[in-house]
């Protein structure tokens, strides 16, 4: 049955143009509806769409966005890079710089492609079936750009010599492969130099505890004490040591704090259930009167009575107190109901005693310590030097920010972290093989013949309904691939957190790497080279015998999948970016989370800004960048570049809005994602050169194909050059960049562009975002010093009993945002 199937040429514009129109209509329907919904809801739901602006001090100086339908757009456009740097920090600045660089690069490439390459491609009409020696002169250019629609070929009027196969146009392919490679490397280099200058000036002009702290690992047993480490480092004459924190095995204390947090939440739920239906007097926080404040002071001295709401077993409320079921006896088979408030208060009192006792104990030291030097130059010299002649011993690295440390992983043995890392890596490799099944299935949907082999009736139906066929062949695969790109990062984020990394910044960089591996290997290479699962093993076995097979298969498939990737980028940009702006996931989950929320603490967490994770969004953007490069010279290149340009423009302003106004990014990576971005862009350049060599060779032009090959080792050499020349400056602070004087009088956010002056002379009036974040922080496990929170209940007036449950929940959520709820701490301070 399959041999009777007529295979339509996927490179023929007539076969792909209808698919693009269908995808455009579908994307516009999704995107426009989501964008209109966002413009309507934005002024009404400021707690969601302006969460960072209203709750973050760093974003408070940003210009207010008007409440009009489109009025926010020009204001967002006018927000400068200086304001992005000052408000959102280096990580956001680097992320948006990648999008801005891509807009410039692909804008230039698109104009050059339309002006030169498109006429060349149409003139030589070289859309060939692999192995065919004759050009097909019956193919018309796509009508997506009407400027090229008037071109036509009268095959009968052509001279016989014009019909002879020619490969002269392939020399133009060679020239533009070199030119676009050089243009991409130029933009990468220029942007890298600019980011390095800004980063050096930004970090060199600030003074935080992180900038002065090193992470010292591989500490031998004889040096595992604060005094010995301090003595050892000061003998090296690097600088004075201000403080040393040896990471100890605090796992038991961490477990107690987790148990306490769980018990505290259960107690708050019990009190909320008890007070929520009260129609008499409202329980008041102890800060309301002087006597209550004195009781708080006594409680802080006597931990036995801390965290209790006075005589909580005596209640003026009419409603019965809530109960909870406990299990006891042999194997916990017996149970009974007891008073929930009394039970959880007693459990909280017991765990508080254990925490207080545990904080006074001495725990086993580990080979890891955080050492704070007295100056930034001393810290930078330590991390850029070898401290010990023994391998893997006394290794100094830059320390993460105190709030960024995953303390539970600091006292994991190195062997345990290595086992976790290798286990996760092996699991991801196995998972990659698993993804072959759904990805190969999606690739099969692109061809009616493949569908006919599985479901003949569906194939017949699709052949008789062109629009339905376009939806199934193009809309469905692009939608499923896009959904995979949304869902898979959550799995890889979970696995990255299980690897035992020391900081959340390292976890996020790992997520970027893992998700790019998925998108590049499964969505691009497997989808393009192997097509369906039935082709995977034959192609793989053949590639072992001949290493050029992959290049030829890639070249053959890339041309046939041009319209698929056009539709994929179109859906990502026009269709899905407005949904990201709408925060569709958060918006749809909000009513569910609202119904599940019970206590004021739950409602306060509900209105916190969502977390922006670069590892979820950056890999897809890099994949689109690679696709634009790969297709830039090919016949479908001008369309891929056009939709790619739309993608980066829409992405830039979508992420700019979210990073500045709507979402928060608590990690502290200081722009270290930039070298990761550059290395993956260089991989894309290598794929572009490999594809062009294959495409030219398939058309029997072996001399220009051979001349493309030198670009591949050149790109590899540039990656080593980049690593030796630029990458150290994206990790460390140059000593010349460090501010020498203790006081500053020039604002870095306003003056960073003028880098002609020596960086050490730049000063600023205000603190940076990192200095604000780290004010008062120390490298100490919070389990040792964090205040033991008291219960958090609503201070507002009681419901009159006539409001519905939903009204009561919304009122509670509103009271949180208005400051009508309080958290009580042992120090007697009241924090909203």
Residues 173 and 266 in one domain: no
Residues 453 and 324 in one domain: no
Assigned token pair, 647: 């993608």
CA 751 vs. chain centroid, Å, equals 29
Residues 387 and 259 in one domain: no
Q: 241 forms bridges with which residues in the sheet?
A: 373
Residues 368 and 460 in one domain: no
Domain membership flag for residue 777: no
Residues 582 and 689 in one domain: yes
Domain membership flag for residue 757: no
Taking CA atoms, 382 is separated from 397, 399, 623, in Å, by 8, 12, 38
Domain membership flag for residue 755: no
Residues 375 and 338 in one domain: no
Domain encompassing residue 263: 252-361+787-831
Share in percent of the chain as helix, strand, coil (round to 5): 65, 5, 30
Closest CA to 97 of 656, 555, 582: 656
Domain membership flag for residue 126: yes
Last residue of some domain: 699, 731, 763? 731
DSSP code per residue over 475-493: IHHHHHHHHHHHHHHHHHH
The DSSP letter of residue 370 is: E
Residues 418 and 446 in one domain: yes
Closest CA to 445 of 493, 409, 484, 478: 478
Residues 639 and 727 in one domain: yes
Taking CA atoms, 331 is separated from 15, 200, 326, 335, 747, in Å, by 69, 62, 13, 11, 66
Residues 644 and 558 in one domain: yes
Task: Provide the pLDDT for residue 223.
Answer: 92
Task: Provide the pLDDT for residue 807.
Answer: 37
Residues 243 and 267 in one domain: no
Residues 355 and 382 in one domain: no
Which long-range CB contacts under 8 A does 708-714 form with residues at least 24 apart? 708/174, 708/177, 711/177, 711/178, 711/181, 712/686
Task: Provide the pLDDT for residue 548.
Answer: 64
Per residue, the 3-state secondary structure of 742-791, as one string, reads CCCCCCHHHHCCCCCCCHHHCCCCCCCHHHHHCCCCCCCCHHHHCCCCCC
Q: Please state the domain count of the chain.
A: 3
* CATH number where 395 lies: 3.30.70.330
Domain membership flag for residue 763: no
- For residues 17 and 143, what is the distance between their CA atoms, to the nearest angstrom? 8
Task: Provide the pLDDT for residue 554.
Answer: 74
Mean pLDDT by 10 residues, the chain (832 residues): 44 60 87 94 87 81 90 93 90 95 96 93 57 39 38 40 61 94 97 94 88 93 92 90 93 93 91 63 37 38 39 51 83 84 92 94 93 92 90 91 91 87 88 73 60 64 68 69 82 89 90 89 73 51 58 76 87 91 85 83 83 91 95 91 96 95 83 93 94 87 90 96 94 84 42 40 57 85 90 55 35 33 32 30
Domain membership flag for residue 761: no
The DSSP letter of residue 612 is: P
- For residues 1 and 79, what is the distance between their CA atoms, to the nearest angstrom? 61
Last residue of some domain: 731, 757, 778? 731
Closest CA to 94 of 798, 672, 767, 487: 672
Last residue of some domain: 689, 713, 731? 731
Domain membership flag for residue 26: yes
Assigned token pair, 219: 């500490």
Domain membership flag for residue 751: no
Residues 191 and 245 in one domain: no
CA 651 vs. chain centroid, Å, equals 13
Output b/e per residue, 98-129; b: 16+ Cβ within 10 A: bbebbbebbeebbebbbeebbebbbeebbbbe
């Amino acid at each position: 049955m399959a041999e009777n199937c007529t295979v339509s040429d996927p490179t023929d514009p007539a076969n792909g143009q209808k698919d693009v129109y269908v995808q455009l209509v579908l994307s516009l329907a999704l995107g426009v509806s989501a964008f209109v919904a966002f413009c309507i809801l934005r002024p009404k739901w400021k707690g969601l769409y302006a969460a960072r602006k209203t709750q973050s001090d760093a974003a408070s100086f940003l210009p207010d966005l008007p409440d009009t339908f489109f009025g926010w757009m020009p204001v967002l456009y006018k927000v400068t890079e200086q304001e992005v740097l000052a408000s959102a920090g280096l990580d956001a600045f680097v992320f948006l710089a990648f999008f801005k660089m891509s807009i410039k690069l692909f804008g230039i490439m698109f104009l050059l492609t339309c002006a030169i390459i498109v006429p060349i491609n149409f003139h030589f009409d070289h859309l060939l079936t692999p192995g065919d020696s004759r050009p097909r002169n019956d193919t018309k250019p796509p009508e997506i750009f009407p400027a090229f629609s008037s071109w036509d070929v009268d095959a009968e009027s052509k001279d016989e010599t014009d019909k002879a196969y020619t490969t002269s146009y392939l020399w133009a392919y060679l020239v533009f492969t070199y030119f676009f490679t050089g243009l991409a490397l130029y933009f990468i280099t220029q942007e890298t130099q600019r980011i390095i200058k800004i980063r050096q000036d930004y970090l060199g002009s600030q003074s935080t505890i992180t900038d002065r702290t090193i992470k010292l690992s591989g500490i031998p047993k004889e040096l595992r004490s604060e005094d010995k480490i301090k003595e050892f480092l000061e003998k090296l004459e690097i600088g004075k040591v201000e403080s040393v924190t040896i990471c100890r095995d605090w796992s038991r204390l961490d477990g107690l704090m987790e148990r306490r947090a769980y018990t505290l939440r259960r107690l708050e739920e019990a009190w909320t259930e008890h007070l929520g239906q009260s129609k008499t007097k409202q329980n008041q926080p102890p800060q309301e009167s002087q006597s209550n404040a004195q009781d708080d002071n006594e409680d802080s001295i006597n931990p036995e009575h801390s965290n209790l709401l006075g005589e909580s077993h005596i209640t003026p409320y009419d409603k019965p107190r809530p109960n909870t079921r406990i299990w006891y006896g042999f194997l916990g088979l017996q149970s009974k109901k007891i008073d929930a408030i009394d039970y959880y208060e007693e459990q909280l009192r017991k765990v508080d005693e254990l925490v207080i006792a545990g904080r006074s104990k001495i725990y086993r030291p580990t080979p890891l310590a955080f050492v704070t030097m007295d100056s930034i130059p001393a810290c930078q010299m330590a991390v850029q030097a070898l401290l010990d002649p023994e391998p893997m011993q006394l290794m100094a690295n830059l320390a993460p920010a105190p709030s960024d440390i995953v303390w539970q992983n600091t006292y994991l043995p190195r062997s345990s972290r290595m086992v976790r890392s290798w286990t996760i890596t092996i699991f991801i490799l196995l998972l990659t093989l698993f993804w072959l099944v759904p990805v190969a299935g999606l690739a099969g949907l692109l061809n009616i013949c493949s569908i006919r082999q599985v479901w003949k009736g569906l194939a017949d139906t699709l052949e008789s309904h062109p629009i339905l066929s376009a939806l199934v062949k193009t809309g469905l695969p692009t939608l499923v691939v896009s959904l995979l790109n949304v869902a898979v990062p959550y799995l890889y984020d979970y696995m990255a957190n299980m690897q035992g990394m020391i900081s959340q910044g390292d976890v996020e960089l790992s997520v970027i790497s893992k998700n790019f591996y998925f998108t590049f290997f499964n969505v691009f290479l497997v989808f393009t080279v192997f097509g369906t699962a039935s082709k995977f093993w034959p192609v793989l076995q053949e590639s072992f015998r001949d290493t050029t097979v992959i290049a030829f298969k890639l070249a053959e498939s890339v041309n046939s999948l041009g319209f698929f990737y056009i539709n994929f980028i179109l859906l990502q940009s026009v269709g899905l970016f407005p949904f990201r702006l709408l925060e569709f996931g958060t918006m749809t989950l909000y009513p569910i989370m609202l119904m599940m929320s019970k206590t004021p603490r739950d409602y306060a967490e509900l209105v916190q800004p969502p977390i922006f994770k670069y590892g979820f969004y950056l890999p897809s953007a890099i994949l689109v960048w690679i696709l634009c490069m790969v297709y830039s010279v090919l016949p479908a290149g001008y369309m891929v570049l056009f939709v790619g340009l739309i993608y980066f423009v829409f992405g830039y302003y979508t992420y700019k809005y979210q990073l500045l106004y709507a979402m928060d990014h608590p990690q502290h990576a200081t722009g270290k994602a930039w070298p990761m971005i550059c290395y993956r862009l260089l991989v894309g350049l290598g794929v572009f050169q490999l594809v062009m060599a294959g495409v030219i060779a398939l058309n029997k032009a072996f001399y220009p194909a051979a001349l493309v090959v030198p670009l591949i080792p050149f790109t590899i050499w540039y990656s080593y050059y980049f690593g030796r020349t630029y990458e150290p400056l994206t990790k460390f602070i140059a000593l010349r960049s460090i501010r020498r004087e203790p006081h500053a009088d020039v604002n870095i956010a306003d003056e960073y562009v003028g880098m002609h002056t020596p960086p050490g002379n730049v000063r600023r009036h205000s603190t940076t975002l990192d200095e604000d974040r780290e004010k008062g922080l120390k490298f100490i496990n919070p389990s040792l010093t964090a205040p033991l929170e008291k219960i958090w209940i609503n201070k507002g007036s009681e419901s009159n009993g006539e409001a519905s449950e939903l009204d009561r929940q919304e009122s509670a959520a509103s009271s949180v945002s208005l400051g009508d709820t309080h958290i009580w701490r042992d120090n007697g301070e009241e924090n909203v």
